[in-house]
A and B are shown apart, each in its own frame.
Chain A
Amino acid sequence: MFREGIGEGTFTGYHPWVNLTYYIFAVGLTILTLSPWFLAATFVMAWMYSLLLRGREVVKINLILSLWIFVIMGALNLFFSHEGVTVLCYIGDNAITAEALAYGISAGIMLVSVILWFSSFNVIMSAEKLIFIFGRALPVLGLTLSMVFRYVPLLKQRFADIRMGQACLAKAEKPGYLQKVRQFGREVSILISWSLESSIESADSMEARGYGLPGRTSFHLYRFTGRDGRMLAAMILLGGFTAACLIGGTAKVQFYPEHIVPAFDPMTGAALACYCLLLALPILIDIHGELRWRRFDSAM
């Protein structure tokens, strides 16, 4: 249905604070527990959201990433941690235990989930939103970030110009390895002096427009609406409840010396339900939004 991914869906349109809160909860709660129920929930949801936004192009890279981290984490823990009572076998004098394996797998899933959350984070939290958020905390940081995002493409362009210019001058014979290094050094040196030179003009332009006067304000295009408020409230409620339960000791898993998964009591069930709902919110919103567009398109 969404083979190419929906890209920036409906959830992106919410206020940056809402987007950020979602990720704080998604990643924060993932780190908070090693309970298999919760890990399964976050792992599945992170996969789903990443897939929904970015489509099949992301399947391969996600799979490779998941598998490797999983294997490495599992193996590392298996071979370097020798605690636990259920010994599977011995390698030399070292015990390989089932508990270490269980811990390695759990931690691996946790790490993979966090990385997968960032895969969708990249789509949702554009540079513009990050600038806004940092700008709220520290206006200078916001502006600096904005300037960085301005200069990176500019420098790239300039470097391409320089390469091209230098290629025009290229001597006839094929350059050796040493000459190539020299040439690269020369190009970088041009880039630096050119950029330093032009930064004087940029500084003039900033000052000419009053930069440095006291009482600078910071402008943005985001508006916090009722929709954002309701969403934020729902997230804080769901996330807060889950966090409180987890911190309070619900579904606390013990690995050493013995792997003990507590029974699935009603409290765990409630917390898990809240957690799943929280994580699924943007997915539901995006799918709903997508379906609405399709209805709209077919009605036209």
Chain B
Amino acid sequence: MKFTLINNIKKDKVMKLILTGFLSFILLYIISDIFVKYFGFGISVDAIKITLVGSEAEFIDPITKASFLEFWHVEIFFMMMILLTLSAIFIRLANRSRTFMTNILMISAITSLVTIALAYFVSAIFIYIYVITFFIWHLSAVYMILYSFWKLYAKGV
């Protein structure tokens, strides 16, 4: 987190390049995450419902409790690490919207994690909230990455 201590990142060529590489990888992760979920767990309400509770009509078994808990556990770990580093970079580079965007990103991400567990253990109705918050945090993250790129490279900013 050395970048939090450097006064002018834009003038520090090495740190600028490192942050560019790192932000590119976070962007790749966010985009890949959507595709992986699309082909596996599902990103629409119907697809997620089939994954969680199964479908008698299509002879699909619901996800086992052990598999769901493993999925949830791994998901929490990756999200906490990626979102902490992304928000730290964004806070360092942005001036105005940093508190607002950090709140939007983190609250939607945490809500998506809580609601997917509620959807599995309590009621499938929580899938709706999960899908909405899933897209909010992904879009917020993409915005924060692109904004950080702009702040790093735009002249006169």
Q: Do A and B come from one complex?
A: no
> Which residues of A pack against B, CB within 8 Å?
none
